[in-house]
Amino acid sequence: MSTLNGTGNEDRHGIDGLRSAIEDVAADIEARQENAPARGPRWGLRVAVGVAAVLIALLIGSWWIVPPRSSEVEVLVLKIHGRDVRARIVDDTAPETIIVIPQPEAARPPAAASIPIGGAR
């Protein structure tokens, strides 16, 4: 048998066995490479999908997880049926909505509760 760098038949048995094993392993590697999907576009697609998923997650997270900042203002004068009521307004989550919370008048003596509606102090 002649080979590229062969010297004849003596001592060829082992090298031929090695060559055969290499050929089988290489053929297996090449077959798997050929059957594998193309690497470039698939990687590009994966990266694009990954970036999009992260952006979407950030968007959703910022909407649902991070609570919107509520602003609270003090109501200086609130009259209900002509009566002054201490209250505060919370401009909360829903757009175009404010919540008015009347405040308990803890400091006021019980007698103050008898002020008639519409009456003067």
Partner 1 sequence: MSRRTTLTLLAGEATAGREDLDNDLSSLVGAVRNGDESTTERLYATVRPRLLRTALALGVDPDDAADLVQETLWSAHRNLHRFDPRQASFEGWLGLILVRRARNRWRGLVRKKRLLEKLHVFSPRSADPEAGAVDARLTLERLLGVLTRRQREVVALYEIGGLGAGEVARVLGISSAGVRSLARDARRRLTEEASRETREALP
The residues of the shown chain that bind partner 1, judged by CB under 8 A, are 1-7, 11-15, 17-33
- Cβ proximity to partner 1, 20 vs 62, nearer residue: 20
- Cβ proximity to partner 1, 13 vs 121, nearer residue: 13
Cβ proximity of 112 and 105 under 8 Å: yes
Give the Cα separation of 22 and 45 in Å (integer): 35
Smallest gap from residue 45 Cβ to partner 1 (A)? 21
- Cβ proximity to partner 1, 28 vs 105, nearer residue: 28
Smallest gap from residue 37 Cβ to partner 1 (A)? 15
Burial string for 55-74 (b: 16+ CB within 10 Å, else e) reads: eeeeeeeeeeeeeeeeeeee
Q: Which residues contact 15 (CB under 8 A, 6 or more apart)?
A: 3
Smallest gap from residue 70 Cβ to partner 1 (A)? 52
